[in-house]
Amino acid sequence: MSVVYVGMSGGVDSSLTAALLKEQGHTVVGVYMKNWTKDLPGMKCPWAEDLADAKRVAVQLGIDFKVFDFETEYKQKVVDYMIQEYRLGRTPNPDIMCNQEVKFKLFLEAALEDGADMIATGHYARVEDGQLKMAEDSTKDQTYFLYRVTKAALEKTLFPLGEHKKSDVRTMAAERGLYTATKKDSQGICFVGQIGIREFLSEYVEQTAGPIIDTQTGLTLGQHDGAIFYTLGQRHGLDIGGGLPYYVVGKDMDKNEVCVTTNLNDSQLWQTTIRLGGVHWIDSPPEPGEYHVRVRHRGTLVKATISFEDNNVRLDVTQPERAVTAGQSIVIYDGPVCLGGGIVQPL
């Protein structure tokens, strides 16, 4: 059996992951990745509590436990990236960048150097023959967040929860008496906890008021407190009273303008052709043709024809997709196999 370093976040998923691997006969070492410890106004970062919970489970299981400090690298590679993308008017996904740069790169490298044969996490996904496959529980599948992980990293990774349903995971954790069996899943920004992106960004960017413009009439309807805080398709938080609801259909970061409309059929809200940059393939690039794509986490799989244009990928979807936003990721599948994906480019 292997020496497996398990990324333990203090939640039920990673706790059960460690328990299952130990039961399978592996030598398991629990590792808490210390990525972010900064408190924000009105929000205490839960890292210390999460670390304590992970330690408690390690003691319960009788496994060694370590802390790997990646806070400096995390700030540079994940947080700074996210802030810069928002400043440019795009909508990034920090969870995807965290997996690419921290969990399946820094953590993997540090674990192997420390004596591990493999690493494991509590992600709902499967790896078979170096291929990344969707989890058995389609409602919890997390391959969307893993599409930028390399094949080499996947070959050194175990995902024990990929074969289980989330409801069963809690039951299995309770049966084993794990301390975290009833702990709620974390929400909000991956590294901060129960806080929205607006509140987080407010700590790092200047809030500058600007006009909200109706694209149908050209009239200024009100003021916003920073175009950076708004994203395509957004309806709430505009504070424009009366009449039909308004939707964000664009923004000009240089002018600090947010453009809105009441027209749900506005062409800026719907796309049938999408171009992806920053493309990453887990294995070799697929042949041009028809595949399935996921435009956002938990979005339904839709058919799309893939073609290649220079360094970009062109997707022609069979039905218009709403609010496809520059900076977000689209992930490509061939049956249950996650092939890779890319980042939506501005129109």
Give the tens place of pLDDT for each residue, 154-182. 999 999 999 999 889 999 999 999 999 99
CATH class for the region spanning 207-261: mainly beta
Res 44: pLDDT: 81
Res 192: pLDDT: 57
- CATH fold match for the domains 207-261 and 269-344: no
**Of 19, 343, 6, 53, residue with least CA distance to 186:** 53
Counting beta carbons within 10 angstroms of the beta carbon of residue 319, is it exposed (0 to 12), middle (13 to 18) or buried (19 or more)? exposed
Res 129: pLDDT: 87
The 3-state DSSP class for residue 232 equals: coil
Quickly state the pLDDT bin for 188 (edges 50, 70, 90).
low
Counting beta carbons within 10 angstroms of the beta carbon of residue 264, is it exposed (0 to 12), middle (13 to 18) or buried (19 or more)? exposed
Residue boundaries of the structural domains of the chain: 3-197, 207-261, 269-344
Res 298: pLDDT: 87
**Of 24, 10, 17, residue with least CA distance to 124:** 17
Res 195: pLDDT: 66
Catalytic residues: 98, 190
Res 203: pLDDT: 87
pTM (2 decimals)? 0.94
Res 190: pLDDT: 59
Counting beta carbons within 10 angstroms of the beta carbon of residue 74, is it exposed (0 to 12), middle (13 to 18) or buried (19 or more)? buried
189 bridge partner residues: 193
Beta strands at 3-7 and 27-34: parallel, antiparallel or unpaired = parallel
Q: How far is residue 35's CA from residue 304's CA, in Å, rounded to a whole number?
A: 37
The 3-state DSSP class for residue 323 equals: coil
Q: How far is residue 321's CA from residue 272's CA, in Å, rounded to a whole number?
A: 6
Q: Answer for the pair 62, 55: CB distance below 8 angstroms, yes or no.
A: no
- Does residue 14 have a pLDDT over 60? yes
Res 148: pLDDT: 98
Per-residue pLDDT tens over the stretch 36-56: 988 877 778 888 999 999 999
DSSP 116-181: -SEEE---SEEEETTEEEE-SSTTT--GGGGTTS-HHHHTTEE-GGGGS-HHHHHHHHHHTT-TTT
The matching CATH number, chosen from 2.60.40.420, 3.20.20.70, 3.40.50.620, 3.40.50.2000, for 3-197 is 3.40.50.620
Q: How far is residue 132's CA from residue 152's CA, in Å, rounded to a whole number?
A: 11
Fold type of domain 269-344: Elongation Factor Tu (Ef-tu); domain 3 (2.40.30)
- Out of 134-148, 195-209, 274-288, which region has the weakest mean confidence (pLDDT)? 195-209
